[in-house]
Structure 1
Amino acid sequence: MTMSWALETRVPFLDKNLVEFFLSVPSEYKKKE
């Protein structure tokens, strides 16, 4: 549907390996608010 209207959608967090990597990063490396 989106490509028929020349729109490109991306779902970066659909990749299981990427999600597992983000969850494995130690808390001291994560951004603090």
Structure 2
Amino acid sequence: MIKKLMGKFAFLAIIVGIMAMIILNYVIPYMHA
């Protein structure tokens, strides 16, 4: 059960991390412009 929870948490963390990277890639150029 704990392994399942850790797997789900890792999966969510990866998705959130990718989304954050994409958002930052779009936002940073506008902030520096």
Question: Which TM bucket (shorter chain)?
Answer: 0.3 to 0.5
Q: Higher helix fraction: Structure 1 or Structure 2?
A: 2
Compute the TM-score of the two structures, normalised by the length of structure 1. 0.36
Larger radius of gyration: 1
TM-score (normalizing by structure 2) = 0.36
Which has the higher relative contact order, 1 or 2, with Cα contacts under 8 A spaced 6 or more apart?
A: 1
